[in-house]
């Protein structure tokens, strides 16, 4: 396979990014590790212990059901006859505790179900590590998907703004500082690994799973902001994980629910999706997550799907060509490769579990995210997978040399981040107090708010429609597109700030509603009558552009409101709160403001940092509509023209600004 090195332009890009960091270190850890110590630890490990280091289970929900059997295809036989109630795993039960002590897992992953408040999470991570050490294990990687914005597992912390918003802020310092907030809050909770940043290039605006999780549709911008984000995590002692290799930004299928296929050549990928990964590898990446995507022009080996009986191509997660050939040999990555979750439909619908484990490890994977534990059946399946992986290694189906290489990389990573030296995870009152004070702190929230305001992008403003300056006796009508969840907390936050800052006069009548089919006609009438109108659009997939779909019906009512107000000589502001492509949908609106994230807050976050996660984009956008905060964002993606059938075309309406 031909050797590939990054272009000079990328080297310059990385240097400029590093220089921009100023006094903030890109990585606080020494580049050289004491490999003699790693070799000594590795030499003393049994095959069982080595396999344990490669496995990363997650204990998300627990439900007592009868233990499963297995059929002749070695698949779990589900039992659905139990009436037990599923409970979130916020503390270890006896079964999980025994499992951790027995198998010496290399890590675990926390989800929102595991996270209630700061003290609870810190006690949980302490218990996980202490239980593992008491059983003779090596300190674990405890991870979470804390990307920021719509993907933030710590539901009471600073959720931040999301990647596309960070790029819209126009300066990598914002990405670095936001990531540093995530790293500080995770570290205070005992979480040492972030499954972020997303390095996918959002090349396909119809992409159903990446979207605003991507920094940009430009590979160089993704590299620039992704490296800054990675450096922000590293500066807090948090392990960053680039995802989803080789790139999930050009798919039209979500691998959580289907099996994506990208029919693109290696040469093409080198000019696009691989650019950010190569730049970040050159800048010191430690960990990369694989994508469950087929690349038939690159990996031609097939497998008979257990569901359809038809051949499917091996995904990147199981491709030796992609992982050992491209990522290791061509791109020079020497760190840890971790799979995306094996419970995702792309894998679970098509591949038998033992084959997944065997092929992934032989392909070059170092750590495997086991199916999420949701009940005692899946718990026992995790145990069975462990035993099976050990057996396959002993009988030669899994390469022992590959296992040794993987564990060596895992141990080097743990040594680099001080985990091999950590022997006591018991808690002090000071640690608990620090966690409570740090997570969702006013200082962290201020970083998020300033970033959100800076990223707001005003792509259109005619007739001085933006901002509004309502006077006493005038009316303002704010209508949120129906999206299955209320965004009312965003207005509550915004209104509080507007009144405190003197930007919302007494006597102004503000009505805020959620658009519904039942009330839609009446809401159109109310909106046309109001003095000022702010329409909050939320486009989360391409179907949302079409008023005849269940996802997009609000756009039809918004069209009527905009037209009715134009006929009455009144202006309308549209706030795009999710994917920015609705800027091409509402071309008749007088002003269009892009906010890039509309994450739900369960409640308005308390001043103490307690309560719901802090998601500032939409509140900041609403404040800016009233003149409280000046949008400073630049467009990080091209906005396509929407045709008469509500499809995104190849024509560009608003050009990417960077």
* Arithmetic mean of pLDDT, 9-20: 32
CA-CA distance, 2 to 324, in Å (whole number)? 13
Tell me the pLDDT of the chain averaged across its residues: 90
Q: Is the pLDDT of residue 220 over 60?
A: yes
What is the pLDDT, as a whole number, of residue 599? 78
The percentage of residues in the chain with a pLDDT greater than 90, rounded to a whole number, is: 81
**Lowest-pLDDT range, 68-82, 98-112, 442-456?**
68-82
Q: Is the pLDDT of residue 9 over 90?
A: no
Q: What angle do CA 14, 179, 240 make, to 5 degrees?
A: 70
For residue 658, the model assigns a pLDDT of 73
pLDDT of 154 reads 93
User: What's the CATH class of domain 456-654?
Assistant: alpha beta
d(CA 102, CA 385): 14
Name the catalytic one among 256, 349, 531, 559. 256
pLDDT, tens digit (0-9, with 9 covering 90-100), for 138-193 = 999 999 999 999 999 998 999 999 999 999 999 999 999 999 999 999 999 999 99
Confidence at 67, pLDDT banded by 50, 70, 90: low
Which residue is associated with the tokens 């030499």? 43
pLDDT the model gives residue 25:
34
CA 34 – CA 428 distance, rounded (Å) = 30
Say which of 127, 194, 330, 340 is annotated catalytic: 340
Task: Flag whether pLDDT at 17 surpasses 50.
Answer: no
Q: Could you tell me which residues come within 8 angstroms of residue 275 by beta carbon, excluding any fewer than 6 positions away?
A: 6, 10, 201, 219, 220, 222, 223
305 class by beta-carbon count within 10 Å (0-12 exposed, 13-18 middle, 19+ buried): middle
Distance CA 107, CA 100 (A): 10
Tell me the whole-structure pTM to 2 decimals: 0.91
* Model pLDDT for residues 607-628, shown as the tens digit of each residue: 766 677 899 999 999 999 999 9
Neighbour count for residue 653 (Cβ, 10 Å): 18
Mean pLDDT within 427-451: 95
Percent of the chain with pLDDT over 70: 91
Give the start-to-end residue ranges of the domains of the chain. 10-71+80-438, 456-654
With a cut of 50, say whether residue 79 has pLDDT above it: no
Strand partners, 536: 480, 575
pLDDT (mean) for 256-272? 93
Quick check: 457 pLDDT over 60?
A: yes
Q: DSSP states of 137-170 as a string?
A: ----EEEE-EEETTEES-TTSB----HHHHHHTT
Q: Determine the distance from the C-alpha atom of residue 260 to the mean position of all C-alpha atoms in its chain, rounded to a whole number.
A: 18
Q: Name the band, by pLDDT with cuts 50, 70 and 90, for residue 629.
A: very high
In the prediction, which pLDDT does 486 show? 61
Q: Is 366 a catalytic residue?
A: no
Per-residue pLDDT at 2 exceeds 70: no
Q: Please report the pLDDT score of residue 16 as a whole number.
A: 34
Tell me how far CA of residue 155 lies from CA of 111, 236, 533, 577, in angstroms: 9, 20, 31, 20
Environment class of 306 (CB within 10 Å of its CB; exposed 0-12, middle 13-18, buried 19+):
middle
Confidence of residue 66 (pLDDT cuts 50, 70, 90): low
Predicted confidence (pLDDT) at residue 425 exceeds the cutoff of 90: yes
pLDDT tier at 234, thresholds 50, 70, 90: very high
Among 83-97, 230-244, 277-291, the range scoring the smallest mean pLDDT is: 83-97
Q: Which residue has the tokens 């009988």?
A: 395
Give the N- to C-terminal CA distance of the chain in Å, as an integer: 34
CATH architecture, domain defined by 10-71+80-438:
Alpha-Beta Barrel (3.20)
292 belongs to the catalytic site = no
Which pLDDT does position 485 carry in this prediction?
59
pLDDT digits (tens, 9 = 90+) for 502-545: 999 999 999 999 999 999 999 999 999 999 999 999 998 899 99
Mean pLDDT score, 428-457 = 95
Whether residue 29 is predicted with pLDDT greater than 50 in this model: the reply is no
E strands of 595-638, at which residues?
none
**Is the pLDDT score of 27 beyond 80?**
no
pLDDT score recorded for residue 212: 95
- Give me the residue label for tokens 């059997």: 69
Average pLDDT over residues 252-259: 80
Extended beta strands in 141-241, E state: 141-144, 146-148, 151-152, 193-194, 239-240
Give the mean pLDDT of 60-78: 60
């Amino acid at each position: 396979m031909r050797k590939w090195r990054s272009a000079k332009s990328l080297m310059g890009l990385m240097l400029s990014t590093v220089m921009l960091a100023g006094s903030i270190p890109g990585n606080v850890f020494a580049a050289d590790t004491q490999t003699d110590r790693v070799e000594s630890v590795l030499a003393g490990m049994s095959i069982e212990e080595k396999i344990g280091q490669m496995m990363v289970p997650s204990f998300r929900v627990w439900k007592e059901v009868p233990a499963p059997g297995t059929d002749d295809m070695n698949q779990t036989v589900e039992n659905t006859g139990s009436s037990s109630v599923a409970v979130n795993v916020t503390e270890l039960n006896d079964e999980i505790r025994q499992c951790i002590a027995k198998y010496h897992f290399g890590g675990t992953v926390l989800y929102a179900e595991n996270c209630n408040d700061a003290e609870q999470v810190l006690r949980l991570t302490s218990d996980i590590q202490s239980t593992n050490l008491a059983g003779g294990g090596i300190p674990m990687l405890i991870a979470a998907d804390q990307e920021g914005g719509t993907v933030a597992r710590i539901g009471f912390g600073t959720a931040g703004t999301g990647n596309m918003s960070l790029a819209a802020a126009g300066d990598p310092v914002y990405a670095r500082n936001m990531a540093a907030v995530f790293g500080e809050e995770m570290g205070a909770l005992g979480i040492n690994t972030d499954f972020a940043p997303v390095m996918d290039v959002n090349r396909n605006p119809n992409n159903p799973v990446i979207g605003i999780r991507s920094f940009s549709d430009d590979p160089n911008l993704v590299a620039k902001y992704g490296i800054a984000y990675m450096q922000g995590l590293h500066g807090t002692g948090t392990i960053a994980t680039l995802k989803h290799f080789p790139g999930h930004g050009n798919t039209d299928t979500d691998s959580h629910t289907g099996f994506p296929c990208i029919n693109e050549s290696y040469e093409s990928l080198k000019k696009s999706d691989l650019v950010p990964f190569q730049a970040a590898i050159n800048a010191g990446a430690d960990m990369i997550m694989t994508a469950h995507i087929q690349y038939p022009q690159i990996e031609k080996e097939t497998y008979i799907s257990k569901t359809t009986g038809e051949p499917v191509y091996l995904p990147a997660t199981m491709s030796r060509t992609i992982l050992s050939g491209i990522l290791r040999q061509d791109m020079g990555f020497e760190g840890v490769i971790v799979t995306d979750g094996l419970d995702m439909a792309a894998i679970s619908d098509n591949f038998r579990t033992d084959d997944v484990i065997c092929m992934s490890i032989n392909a070059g994977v170092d750590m495997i995210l086991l199916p999420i534990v949701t009940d005692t059946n899946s718990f026992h399946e995790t145990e069975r997978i462990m035993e099976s992986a050990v057996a396959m290694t002993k009988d030669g189906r899994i390469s022992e040399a590959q296992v040794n290489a993987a564990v060596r990389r895992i141990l080097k990573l743990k040594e680099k981040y001080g985990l091999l030296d950590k022997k006591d995870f018991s808690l002090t009152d000071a640690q608990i107090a620090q966690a409570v004070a740090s997570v969702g702190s006013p200082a962290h929230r201020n970083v998020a708010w300033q970033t959100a305001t800076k990223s707001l992008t005003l792509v259109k403003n005619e007739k001085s429609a933006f901002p509004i300056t309502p006077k006493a006796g005038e009316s303002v009508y704010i209508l949120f597109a129906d999206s299955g969840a209320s965004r009312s907390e965003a207005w509550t936050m915004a209104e509080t700030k507007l009144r405190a800052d003197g930007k919302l006069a007494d006597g102004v009548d503000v009505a805020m509603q959620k658009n519904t089919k039942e009330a839609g006609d009446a809401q159109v009438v109310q909106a046309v009558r109001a003095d000022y109108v702010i329409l909050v659009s939320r486009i989360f997939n391409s179907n949302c552009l079409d008023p005849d779909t269940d996802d997009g019906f609000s756009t039809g009512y918004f069209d009527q409101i905009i037209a009715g107000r134009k006929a009455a000589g009144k202006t309308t502001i549209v706030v795009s709160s999710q994917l920015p492509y609705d800027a091409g949908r509402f071309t008749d609106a007088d002003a269009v403001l892009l906010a890039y994230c509309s994450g739900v807050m369960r409640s308005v976050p308390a001043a103490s940092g307690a309560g719901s996660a802090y998601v500032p984009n939409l509140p900041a956008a609403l404040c800016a509509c009233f003149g409280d905060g000046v949008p400073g964002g630049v467009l990080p993606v091209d906005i396509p023209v929407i045709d008469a059938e509500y499809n995104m075309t190849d024509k560009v309406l608003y050009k990417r600004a960077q």
